Structure 1
Amino acid sequence: MFTIGDFARYGRVSARMLRHYDAIGLLRPARTDPVSGYRFYEAAQLARLNRIIALKDLGFSLQQVGAILDEQVSVPELRGMLRLRQAELEAALTAAGARLAQVEARLRTIESEGRMSADDVVVKRTETVLLAELSGIAASYGPEDIGPVIQPLYDELCRRLAAAGVTPAGPGLAYYEDAPEESTGNTGNTGSTSDGGSDAVVVHAGMVVTPEALAKAGAKTDGGSGRSGTPTPTGLGFDVVTLPGLDCAATVVHHGPMSRILPTAQNLARWIDANGYRSAGYARELYLECPPDQEKWITEIQEPVVRA
């Protein structure tokens, strides 16, 4: 027989682990001295210990290991458990590969620019939100065309929300879509127009609101929530829309005025390309902080992406 120390050494485990296996009934010692409490093991028990270690290395819990060793798991069940573990490991490898690609992309950025980028990109899902909004047409998606349209929209939206007694429940959120070919006006009655054309975009300037606030203000929206993704008039001078979240968005935080957003957007575009994604539509802008001093503005850019 072996003492617990010798058995642990031959089995390549710790004595503490053997005591734990004894406590949970996974591997009992062949004999325990009734006076000293010392545990003793037989050489034949090394086979069971080796099976425990092998099953643990496959990722099974100790409870599952015990059931397998005691033949409480049938062969079809064991096959299913192994296939599930195989799928889990494959998913972990995929995730690790994505992280490796991000590390390699960051290394390339540091090597090319000689410094750490201040624009940290995070891929995540975004939530569905209820927005009160006004919209207008911009000649293009460029900052020089968006700025003159979106700022008046937000000024007017805030004025109309205040007049209706609706207090925003969250930050502003702007989103964009291609303008119809024959666009000659806007849906927010702000006077922003364009000649249409292939480059024109619809600018949606929204503020997060609650159904309760809309109902209290007397909004007429067939339930006060608006159809998913479709702006609905409220009768209060603004529309309401339930904007679906993005399943996969590459996001980055921009500091400062929106007139200087282009470098941040370009860094995001480079990250998307370097990390095996491609853009799936116009980016959204979540205005986290908008104090009077625009240098202190904090905006999150949310660009929908898919794997390339």
Structure 2
Amino acid sequence: MFSIGDFARLGRVSVRMLRHYDALGLLRPARVDPATGYRSYDAAQLARLNRLIALKDLGLSLEQVGRILDEKVGTEELHGMLRLRRAELAAHVAEETARLARVEARLRMIETEGVMSTDVVIKSVPAVRLAELSATAESYESDKISPVIQPLYEELCKRLDAAGLAITGPAVAYYEQAPDGVRVHAGAPVNADPGGAYEFDLVDLPGAEQAATLIHHGPMDNADASFQRLARWIEENGYRSTGLAREVYLRYGQGAPETWVTELQETVTR
């Protein structure tokens, strides 16, 4: 048998915690010396301690843990509960990591407020024929757009290959406000007969005489600051947006993300 101190060391818990579990009836000592009150534990009790700690780490209350232990949950069932909890915790960590990235992006935008952009170029934008697929995102937030647009491009590439069509230039994305969110259009320029039967839409995207353009470096997940720099430049230089914006992916999806290049285009007028 083991003293309470040795049992705590072997079980990787504190003596105080073992006394607490004893008081709650969750893990009684194998023996209590009637004269001294010293608690002693059997090695076999480590199995119950392991289950107790695992269930507590699942987020269950100690009362719930006690009921489950008394019902003698099997090893396989306990493993299943732990795997489920692990998946939930991983999802929570991913969500909080994404939240932190959004906070950092907003901080960068705040830090650049009042700084004049000097890298915006006004130019004409040519019309382009696009093969495209569309879907609706909940909002314009990056973490809402990315999960929608990325699968669209993957599927579009598959359908273009099946149709025997080659992409003739940088991919182009554009957006429209929809009653239930934002309509996301994922397009790629092609030389295709508009009368053909395809498993994608064929759209002639009109050109524009004037567009304020800005080169964004890196993935679009952190493009919010670039969009706001472009918006400030448009206003500060006496232009007015016509509400037609495009993203032209000059170099995207290959190599290190920090090397990706996207041209942001906002059609404008005075």
| TM-score normalized by the length of structure 1 | 0.48
Secondary structure of the 1:250 match is: strand
Matches within 5 A, 1:214-229: 214-215=192-193, 221-222=194-195
In structure 1, the partner of 2:19 is none
In structure 2, the partner of 1:51 is none
In structure 1, the partner of 2:171 is 172
Amino acid at match of 1:155: E
Residues in 1 aligned to 2:175 and 2:244: alpha-carbon distance in whole angstroms: 6
In structure 1, the partner of 2:141 is 142
1:295 paired residue among 251, 258, 265: 258
In structure 1, the partner of 2:93 is none
Secondary structure of the 1:168 match is: coil
Shift in Å, 1:288: 0.4
Residues in 2 aligned to 1:283 and 1:251: alpha-carbon distance in whole angstroms: 10
Structure 2: gaps of 5 or more residues:
1-111
2:235 paired residue among 262, 269, 273: 273
In structure 2, the partner of 1:125 is 124
Deviation beyond 2 Å, 4+ runs, structure 1 = none
Amino acid at match of 1:295: E
Residues in 1 aligned to 2:220 and 2:247: alpha-carbon distance in whole angstroms: 10
Secondary structure of the 2:147 match is: helix
- Structure with greater strand share of residues: 2
In structure 2, the partner of 1:106 is none
In structure 2, the partner of 1:236 is 198
Q: Kindly indicate whether residue 223 of structure 2 is the aligned counterpart of residue 261 of structure 1.
A: yes
In structure 1, the partner of 2:207 is 245
Amino acid at match of 2:182: V
CA RMSD, 1 decimal: 2.2
Amino acid at match of 1:261: A
Secondary structure of the 1:247 match is: strand
Secondary structure of the 1:248 match is: strand
Q: Deviations over 1:102-139 (max 9, x none)?
A: xxxxxxxx9x55xx85x600111100101000001111
In structure 1, the partner of 2:183 is 202
In structure 1, the partner of 2:32 is none
Q: Deviations over 1:192-218 (max 9, x none)?
A: xxxx1xxx11111000101xxx34xxx
In structure 1, the partner of 2:69 is none
**Pairs aligned (count):** 159
Q: Deviations over 1:251-274 (max 9, x none)?
A: 000000000100111111111111
Amino acid at match of 2:131: A
Q: Deviations over 1:75-124 (max 9, x none)?
A: xxxxxxxxxxxxxxxxxxxxxxxxxxxxxxxxxxx9x55xx85x600111
Amino acid at match of 1:202: R
Residues in 1 aligned to 2:255 and 2:187: alpha-carbon distance in whole angstroms: 19
Amino acid at match of 1:205: A
| TM-score normalized by the length of structure 2 | 0.55
Amino acid at match of 1:174: A
Amino acid at match of 1:153: L
Identity among equivalent pairs (%): 53
Amino acid at match of 2:218: G
Residues in 1 aligned to 2:129 and 2:169: alpha-carbon distance in whole angstroms: 10
Shift in Å, 1:279: 1.5
Moved more, 252-261 or 289-298: 289-298
Matches within 5 A, 1:1-308: 113=115, 120-179=119-178, 181=179, 196=180, 200-210=181-191, 214-215=192-193, 221-222=194-195, 234-290=196-252, 291-307=254-270
Secondary structure of the 2:268 match is: strand
